[in-house]
């Protein structure tokens, strides 16, 4: 594969990025998106095709022939590996450069056991998926990975990850470089989810790429991914979006970070389960009591189930958590005035009551102007945002790196 000459293509990356963010755009679409002239787009597209960076896309029509649909990244660019590492599981996805998933697998694990065993699982998953699809390592364009902790993006190092203490300073890039020649890009998991959602919306035409969005992940941890003017916003140290340790109650429970009343300690999955168990033990809820005595413990799904069966205690637990989350998000809405506040993660998916409680709490506490155009909803991708985002991270960054070489 030839390398693109940056002097010959000062605007090649702009066109390539426009194709990355679109779904098979025509040359006309590219003129609109890049604001370059028709002849300039034509010339750059010609060069990018010659260099096998892009190609004409095509679909099979009803007669069995193929008809052209627009431009897409060239299949010879290969495949991307997306690694979506959560606190309790990891999903590895292999996709072609136009986001067609060719294989994927999810494995239960626990990041708290440290990098050794977790990375062994990931490496095995990658090898197995590639073997099944007969894809060679040399065909990998890039590897993207989301991790549940703060990441210094330009080095890929984890910095002070509260939920991943054994991973501090671990060099994920060097680890993968031992077995892969493809470049590796690492980011915080919620940043990756936000990137995935943004890519999904832009390539669907649901976004012009200028929106300011906050994606909020509600799970064991609580964090936000921030999109400013169509780009992931990481802040001065890569810590932006680290809202789990905003304190909403100075008299609240002590958090693992050392402070008291953090939103993560009050509305994270473990505390929701803890409050439901307490309700069962206090004899307030027969449904929860029965579940505990049958199973010996409770999960988030049990609490959702009890709430859907009309159990007042379970409903109260969910409403309280939603109201607390909304309290923190209302401050962010006043400060950041986003167009979209998108919820994701197992706590968000506990049911419509959770979404309603969060919405109600945000609207009650925000200024009318800040919520005039605000959409509060689930991410469109749901649980797939991490897989899509880590894939988008791999492809986008690998293309940028290649064209700047």
In this structure, the chain runs to a length of: 405
CB of 224 to its own copies, least distance (A): 7
Q: Judge whether 214 and 226 are in contact, CB under 8 Å.
A: yes
Pairing of strands 340-344, 375-378: parallel
CB of 250 to its own copies, least distance (A): 9
Residue 136 or 372 having the CB closest to its own copies: 372
Residue 71 or 213 having the CB closest to its own copies: 213
CB of 67 to its own copies, least distance (A): 36
CB of 181 to its own copies, least distance (A): 29
Residue 216 or 394 having the CB closest to its own copies: 216
Residue 38 or 373 having the CB closest to its own copies: 373
* Separation between Cα atoms, residue 279 and residue 314, nearest integer Å: 8
CB of 13 to its own copies, least distance (A): 13
The DSSP call for residue 244 is G
Residue 228 or 284 having the CB closest to its own copies: 228
* Number of neighbouring beta carbons within 10 Å of residue 290: 12
Structure tokens at 48: 């990018």
Residue 237 or 281 having the CB closest to its own copies: 237
* Number of neighbouring beta carbons within 10 Å of residue 401: 12
* Separation between Cα atoms, residue 241 and residue 288, nearest integer Å: 34
Query: Measuring CA to CA, how many Å separate 230 from each of 21, 149, 212, 306, 391?
Result: 10, 22, 7, 40, 17
Helix (H) or strand (E) holding 142: strand 140-147
Residues near its own copies (CB under 8 A): 150, 159-160, 211-212, 224, 226, 228-229, 233-243, 245-247, 257, 259, 328, 330-332, 334-339, 365, 367-370, 372-374
CB of 371 to its own copies, least distance (A): 9
Q: Judge whether 223 and 190 are in contact, CB under 8 Å.
A: yes
């Amino acid at each position: 594969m030839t390398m693109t000459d940056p002097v010959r293509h000062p605007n090649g990356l702009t066109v390539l990025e426009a194709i990355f963010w679109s779904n098979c755009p025509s040359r006309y679409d590219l003129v609109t998106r890049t604001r370059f002239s028709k002849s300039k787009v034509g010339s750059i597209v010609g060069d990018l095709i010659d260099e096998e960076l892009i190609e004409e896309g095509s679909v099979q029509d009803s007669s069995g022939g193929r008809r052209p649909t627009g431009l897409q990244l060239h299949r010879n660019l290969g495949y991307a590996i997306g690694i979506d590492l959560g606190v309790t599981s990891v999903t590895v996805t292999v996709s072609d450069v136009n986001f067609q998933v060719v294989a994927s697998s999810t494995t239960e694990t626990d990041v708290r056991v440290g990098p050794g065993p977790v990375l062994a699982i990931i490496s095995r998953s990658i090898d197995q998926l590639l073997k099944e699809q007969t894809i060679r390592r040399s065909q990998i364009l890039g590897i993207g990975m989301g991790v549940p902790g703060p990441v210094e993006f330009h080095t890929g190092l984890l910095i002070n990850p509260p939920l991943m203490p054994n991973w501090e300073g671990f060099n994920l890039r060097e680890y993968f470089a031992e077995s892969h020649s493809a470049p590796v890009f690492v980011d915080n998991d919620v940043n990756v989810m936000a990137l995935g959602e943004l890519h999904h919306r832009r390539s669907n035409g649901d976004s012009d790429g200028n929106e300011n969005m906050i994606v909020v992940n509600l799970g064991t941890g609580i964090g936000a991914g921030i999109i400013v003017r169509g780009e992931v916003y990481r802040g001065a140290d890569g810590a932006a979006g680290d809202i789990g340790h905003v304190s909403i109650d100075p008299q609240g429970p002590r958090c693992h970070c050392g402070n008291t009343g953090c939103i993560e300690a009050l509305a994270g999955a473990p505390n929701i389960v803890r409050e439901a168990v307490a309700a069962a033990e206090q004899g307030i809820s027969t449904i929860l009591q029965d579940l505990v005595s049958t199973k010996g413990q409770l999960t988030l799904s049990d609490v959702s189930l009890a709430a859907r069966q009309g159990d007042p205690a379970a409903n109260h637990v969910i409403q309280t958590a939603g109201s607390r989350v909304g309290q923190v998000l209302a401050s962010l809405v006043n400060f950041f005035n986003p167009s979209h506040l998108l919820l994701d993660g197992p706590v968000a998916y506990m049911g419509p009551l959770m979404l309603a409680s969060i919405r109600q709490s945000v609207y009650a506490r925000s200024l009318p102007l800040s919520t005039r155009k605000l959409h509060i909803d689930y991410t469109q991708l749901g649980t797939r945002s991490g897989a899509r985002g880590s894939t988008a991270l791999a492809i986008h960054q690998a293309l940028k790196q290649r064209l700047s070489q």
